[in-house]
Structure 1
Amino acid sequence: MNLESPKINVSKSPQEIFNFLADIKNFKSLMPENISKFEVLDDNKFLFALKGMPEIILEKKDVLPPNKIVFGAAGGKIDFSLVGNIIEINETSSEVQLEFTGDFNPMMSMMIKGPITKFIETLVSSIPKAI
């Protein structure tokens, strides 16, 4: 399953956005209102839970400053990745899009497509306000 957030414009340079996303404690400010738990586990890993959903641990897997940052599932039974793509529009403006990729059975895909889509849209739309 591959899902993409809308592309949003942010009045910051790619490096500023990359630095913000690379600091995992900043993700707390991007989370939706229905978050029930957020915990920084180390410099590269955090745990979060949304009401009615299991806890998820995201770990920073790969970085290509200042244009790409990749997070992935840390443990658990489900393997997925969340990629932040940052494209420079000009020196003070960038375009940001999040991509979610996971290998799920058709039943699971059907159940989680809506909530995951809403989740990545919330994350990306919160970036301009949080930075």
Structure 2
Amino acid sequence: MHIEVERKIVDQSPETVFNFLTDVNNFEVLMPENKSVFEVYDEKTFRFGLSGMPEIVLRKEEEIPHSKIVLGAASSKLNFNLTIDIEELEASKSEVGLSFQGKFNAMMGMMIKGPITKFMETLTENMDKIG
């Protein structure tokens, strides 16, 4: 399953966006209002829960300075990753795109596609809070 949401233009440099997003503590700022739990385990790993959804643990798997961050599921029960692409538009303006890639059976895919898409849209909308 592959999901992409509309890219967001952020009035920050790619370096500022990258530095903000590589600190997992900052993801709490981007979370939807219906967040029920947010806990940082270490500099690469955090757990979050949204009302009506199971809790998810994400771990940073890859970083390419100022252009890409890949977060993956820390649980072996789930096989997915969330990729954040950062593109420079101007010295102090970036375009940020989120994409989700996961391996799920058809039934699970139908159940999670809507909530995952909404979650990614909210993260993208909240990118204005970077800075």
The percentage of counterpart residues that share the same residue type is: 52
**4+ residue segments displaced more than 2 Å:** none
Task: Name 1:93's counterpart in structure 2.
Answer: 93
Displacement of 1:105 in angstroms is: 0.6
Letter in 1 for 2:22: A
Q: Kindly provide the CA deviation profile for residues 85-114 of structure 1, in whole angstroms up to 9, marking residues without a partner as x.
A: 000001010100111110011111111101
Larger displacement relative to structure 2 (24-33 or 68-77): 68-77
Displacement of 1:130 in angstroms is: 3.7
TM-score by length of 1: 0.97
Letter in 2 for 1:69: I
Displacement of 1:129 in angstroms is: 2.3
1:1-131 equivalences under 5 Å are 1-131=1-131
Aligned length: 131
How many Å separate the matches in 2 of 1:75 and 1:110? 20
Where structure 1 has 5 or more consecutive residues not aligned to the other structure, the ranges are: none
- Please tell me the root mean square deviation across aligned C-alpha atoms, in Å: 0.8
- What SS does structure 2 have at the residue aligned with 1:66? coil
- What SS does structure 1 have at the residue aligned with 2:118? helix
Displacement of 1:5 in angstroms is: 1.5
Where structure 2 has 5 or more consecutive residues not aligned to the other structure, the ranges are: none
Contact map agreement 2:60 2:72 (CA 8 A) in 1: yes
How many Å separate the matches in 2 of 1:32 and 1:76? 25
TM-score by length of 2: 0.97
